[in-house]
Structure 1
Amino acid sequence: MTAAVMAADASYDPVLSKLVTSLKEAESLSSEQELGFLQNLLESKEINALVNVHSKVGKVIKDEKCAPLMSSSIQVALEVLEQLSQRCHISPLCKEIFYLLQKPHVQSLLASHDAIAQKDFYPHLPDIPIEVDEDEETVKIVQLVKSNEPLGATIKTDEETGKIIIARIMHGGAADRSGLIHVGDEVIEVNGINVEGKTPNDVLTILQNSEGTITFKLVPSDGKSGQRESKVRVRAHFEYNPENDPYIPCKEAGLGFTRGEILHIVGQDDGYWWQARKECERTSRAGLIPSRALQERRIIHERTQKETNGDTKSSCASICSTPPPSPDSNTITCRGPKTKKIMYNLDENDDFDRELIATYEEVSKLYPRPGVYRPIVLIGAPGIGRNELKRRLVARNPDKYRSPVPYTTRAMRPGEVPGREYLFVTRDKMEADVSAGKFIESGEYKGHLYGTSAESVKAIVNSGHVCVLSPHYQAIKSLRTPQLKPFIIHIRTPSFDRLKATREAHRARSTFDELNSRGFTDDEFNEMITSDERINFLYGHFFDEEIVNETLATALEQLLVCVERAETEPLWAPSSWVQ
């Protein structure tokens, strides 16, 4: 096919036609084989089709009438999904749009729109290689303007060569944004000062004393692949303050956080120090946090030191120690003749839970599903009032909120109806079901077995109702599964003075004495607070919310707000729960 034929065919690009004509004129300057290859390539229908598409897309982008209004429609769609999820139960139209925006075809369309708006269709050609003398060392000069913001890079001494090299680049920092400094680059000079033989602290002193523009002379590393942010989000199960960490490479680069905060892990290249930013501060630069492996080693070391030193008087040890007996409908033992022993069908106990090492838990957004509600689990110290809160919540709307009917092996009493107060079964049957793991909690009281079956919880959830539970805290391990996806609320005690004042003002009756109707004693108040602290220490990282129960009326209002959030808002949950 000649260039004239190509020019006459409207489907062929005129620029390619001119290139073919130029090739004909340059036949004497190149080999016949090379010219033939180029001519066949330029005349192919495939290359012409690609050039035509590229030209038309470029024309659309340049046309102001067709210019895109935004280049982040995917992000906007995610924000719309969060808003719609709160209204799906109100408007059928919102529900329809909510599911439509999650369709793969719509998601792909929005992604294509963003790619064109961001001009990602332009070809990315590799840099032209520069031929240099093999014995000559390549050096690059990098200038950064010093400001109040840290440079976002750390340095170290190479163990083999003794040279100063770039140890890490902080995601989102000044060095990362420049795109000119990479991990492994060797530092030769800083502001004209040779750093050979100097320590990293010497180099930091030079940087601290510099003003205005900072000039680095660097030898590029062999591998300069760009940093790619991970999409991992985790919930922190401990508190961290870099100012109190003597081992962090750079305190200024550290990121402090509290237990329960959501962190975006943007880099895990370093086995000891991860890079992260708080999820609520997406635009900020990343900071250093201890990796899971490092934090686990620290916790093991601290526990070993305490055991070696015989530190049994610390507040932590008192919180973790075996609690004194405290009679309650869900506690382990009772005083006097009212002996009650709870035999939880769990592999772990308090001693084992104390040995669990809680660091980070990978999480994702769990979106509410219309008609399928997460079980509401109320955990708290004996006597704090979680059972009464459960009763009041169910009584507020019995058609919506329900609690599972417990099983028992005792005989039915006059006035009781099977399936209303209890489900009555034989002892052999219940012991077999307990051994088979069919109960989330079970125990014995006055010679009779009592328990809550896992199947009864699932039945309430599958029926479209909100299941409300107030089990012993050890039942968390049986309930917190991908199948149930519970929303766990810790009902906490106020201070001793507030606890005593509010209970006495409302003439609250002690739940520690079933035979005599009386108020709580000071010892019982202190026992509640100790138990509350122990539960928070052992299981605090599992709780989605906390409610301080000063008065039942106020706590119930807060509980209703929490339940509404669990039903309507996308909330962070273990990634294994999100299918």
Structure 2
Amino acid sequence: MMMTNASENWDPSLTRLLTSLREVQTGGEDVAFLSELLQSKQLHALVQVHNKIVAKGKDDKFYPLLSNAMQVTLEVLEMFGELKSVSKEFQEMLSLLQKPHFQAILCTHDAVAQKDYYPHLPDVPNDADEDEETVKIVQLVKSDEPLGGAQSAEPIVGATIKTDEETGKIVIARVMHGGAADRSGLIHAGDEVIEVNGISVESKTPADVLTILQNSEGTITFKLVPTFGKGGSRESKVRVRALFNYDSADDPYIPCKEAGLNFKKGDILHIVSQDDAYWWQARREGDKIMRAGLIPSRALQEGRIIHERQTEPQTMDGDKASLCSPTNGNTYCAPKTPCTPTPNAAALLPCKSTPKVKKVIYDIKENDDFDREIIPTYEEVARLYPRPGFVRPIVLVGAPGVGRNELRRRLIATDPEKYVTPVPYTSRAQKQSEQNGKEYMFVTREKMEQDISEGKFIEHGEYKGNLYGTSAESVETIVNSGRVCVLSPHWQALKMLRTPHLRPFIVFIKPPPLDRLVDTRNAANARSTFDKECSRAFTEEEFRDIIRSSTRINFLYGYMFDEEIVNEELASALSQLLKISWRVQSEPLWVPASWIQ
């Protein structure tokens, strides 16, 4: 059997198969057919395509930017359905997106991006004799991926191992999504490890097995007893916004530090697996690396936060604000001891209690003791695409005196036709110099109290016996007009504003450190906002109040913030705000998933 000249550059695997075929003593039609197939140009072309797809790290220029291109296309088509354009370009694009061949390309792209082309063998049938034990032999190429137990681990094949508490045997604890073990489709959580590279692991510890793996070169061969009914799980499509910072190096309880995924507050994470009650698998959205890492689950992180708040309360002192509020109307089950690698779920969850309810219908004073405290961990999100005729309102929130109202005024002054703030309502008498609908919307106290009781105001308060407030309808009118509604409400209004109906973009205006706050405000000859009777400079205590209030607001409502601006210099802060406004109007941004569904 002769190989053609064209086969000299063939894939080495095909070449080895052809060589082995020559050694087969028996001929026949089957051998002839197989020989012809292995030498066909079509098979060679398919193997080349396969090798280019699975080649890892050879060319960083080619990687999928997203794995749901078809879903994005469907969302675009849905948006097009709401438009009335009859332009030639619009019709051409609509026709292109609806073509079956174009959609087939996108579906193929998504399949490649999600690595659906990897082989997934069916589970081994559980019909063997009771006296026989089914085993499987799996070979993996050693790579820079974690495989370890609760002790130190070396990066090897993308799985973690542990000692089963009941049997004392070495088992696969978890398979990391996107790793070599996951891509093989042959190794599953729960599989019992019998041998590694021909060495029995009986009576050995996870650390002993890791030593064997560390000393291995090239391929690693596992002999496993498969777990039945636990085939490879498909990636979930859940995305969440992280509401806290996490560094696996500082976590003493993570099963494998090398497998940990570090992230910062505000990062978007793709949760690919929630099979483990305490350790989820996730990737940072947009990362080129497809391998997942371990992060604490929502239940585990909530338990940690509750424990920290109960055991390490902080008191108001200088520019440090209390992070433990005993008067917020909530009761928590605080664990008596720190969290462990296998915590008791009951000790991690907050006990339900009835929150206090404030009996008055309006108040402009700072009083958030009655707000229900949120345990900030993760918030499920989805992309919101800009829609013609609807511009998300920009909400500036911050402590009194931090400068959010001045920023709002300056933003509106850059383009008064584009940036608009709603006219407030009031029950006070109209002055002769005032025009109804310009400075205020003047209504009777009875009418305003009725609208407040019916929930028609996003915020309201009383000053010197008169009611003031901002109506939800006035905000909606601006939003639906295609202009940018700019608000700077009291922070307690956020729960009324942050709804699927309005979809606001919330910017937290934060003060600089105390020394810079004092220097910059004194240099700018800033006037105190705490005294409405006369114009004067801020006092030292008022500066400290700004810091304290800011910390308190961030603690209670920080999970709602989309961006943060440190208002050290007004010009710089305004520049950042203008960039944020442009993004809100033109870019798809992550929002709570409930706003899209």
Using the size of structure 2 for normalisation, the TM-score is 0.72
Name the aligned partner's letter for residue 456 of structure 2. K
In the alignment, is the contact (CA less than 8 A) between 1:275 and 1:288 conserved in 2?
Answer: yes
Counterparts of 1:304-453 in structure 2, within 5 Å, are 304-306=310-312, 312=315, 318=322, 343-344=362-363, 350-351=368-369, 353=371, 355-453=373-471
- Residue from 555, 571, 576 that aligns with 2:573: 555
Q: What's the offset of the Cα at 1:161? A: 2.7
In the alignment, is the contact (CA less than 8 A) between 2:320 and 2:548 conserved in 1?
Answer: no
Residues 1:199 and 2:205 aligned together:
yes
Q: Supply the distance in 2 between the matched residues of 1:125 and 1:237 (Cα, whole angstroms).
A: 39
Q: Supply the distance in 2 between the matched residues of 1:503 and 1:130 (Cα, whole angstroms).
A: 75
In the alignment, is the contact (CA less than 8 A) between 1:361 and 1:574 conserved in 2?
Answer: yes
Q: What's the offset of the Cα at 1:320? A: 5.7
Bigger helix share = 1
Partner of 1:492: 510
Q: What's the offset of the Cα at 1:496? A: 2.2
Give deviations 1:322-357, integer Å, cap 9, x for gaps: 99xxxxxxxxxxxxxxxxx993599x9633546321
Counterparts of 1:225-240 in structure 2, within 5 Å, are 225-240=231-246
- Residue from 137, 142, 146 that aligns with 1:141: 137
Partner of 1:292: 298
Could you say what secondary structure the match of 1:554 adopts? helix
In the alignment, is the contact (CA less than 8 A) between 1:441 and 1:451 conserved in 2?
Answer: yes
Q: What's the offset of the Cα at 1:520? A: 1.7
In the alignment, is the contact (CA less than 8 A) between 2:458 and 2:496 conserved in 1?
Answer: yes
In the alignment, is the contact (CA less than 8 A) between 1:185 and 1:218 conserved in 2?
Answer: yes
Name the aligned partner's letter for residue 146 of structure 1. K
Q: What's the offset of the Cα at 1:481? A: 0.3
Could you say what secondary structure the match of 2:322 adopts? helix
Residues 1:540 and 2:546 aligned together:
no
Larger gyration radius, structure 1 or structure 2:
1
In the alignment, is the contact (CA less than 8 A) between 2:239 and 2:380 conserved in 1?
Answer: yes
Q: What's the offset of the Cα at 1:358? A: 1.5
Could you say what secondary structure the match of 2:396 adopts? strand
In the alignment, is the contact (CA less than 8 A) between 1:100 and 1:106 conserved in 2?
Answer: no
In the alignment, is the contact (CA less than 8 A) between 1:276 and 1:288 conserved in 2?
Answer: yes
Counterparts of 1:96-175 in structure 2, within 5 Å, are 108-111=103-106, 135-150=131-146, 151-175=157-181
In the alignment, is the contact (CA less than 8 A) between 2:177 and 2:281 conserved in 1?
Answer: yes
Residues 1:478 and 2:496 aligned together:
yes
Name the aligned partner's letter for residue 262 of structure 1. I
Residues 1:258 and 2:264 aligned together:
yes
Could you say what secondary structure the match of 2:591 adopts? strand
Residues 1:189 and 2:195 aligned together:
yes
Partner of 1:278: 284
Count of equivalent residues = 491
Distance 1:74 1:285, change over 3 A: closer
Q: Supply the distance in 2 between the matched residues of 1:257 and 1:124 (Cα, whole angstroms).
A: 31
Distance 1:103 1:213, change over 3 A: closer
Name the aligned partner's letter for residue 214 of structure 1. I
In the alignment, is the contact (CA less than 8 A) between 1:239 and 1:259 conserved in 2?
Answer: yes
Could you say what secondary structure the match of 2:369 adopts? helix
Give deviations 1:524-544, integer Å, cap 9, x for gaps: 222212222222222222111
Q: What's the offset of the Cα at 1:116? A: 11
Q: What's the offset of the Cα at 1:101? A: 6.8
Name the aligned partner's letter for residue 296 of structure 1. E
Give deviations 1:430-475, integer Å, cap 9, x for gaps: 1121111111111111111111111111111122221110001111
Q: What's the offset of the Cα at 1:422? A: 0.8
Q: What's the offset of the Cα at 1:363? A: 0.5
Could you say what secondary structure the match of 2:182 adopts? helix
Does 463-472 or 76-85 show the bigger shift?
Answer: 76-85
Q: Supply the distance in 2 between the matched residues of 1:417 and 1:453 (Cα, whole angstroms).
A: 18
Q: Supply the distance in 1 between the matched residues of 2:378 and 2:224 (Cα, whole angstroms).
A: 37
Name the aligned partner's letter for residue 152 of structure 1. G
Partner of 1:518: 536
Could you say what secondary structure the match of 1:351 adopts? coil
Give deviations 1:248-282, integer Å, cap 9, x for gaps: 11111111111111000001111111100111314
Give deviations 1:78-114, integer Å, cap 9, x for gaps: 89999999xx9xx977766776676596874444665
Q: Supply the distance in 1 between the matched residues of 2:447 and 2:126 (Cα, whole angstroms).
A: 82
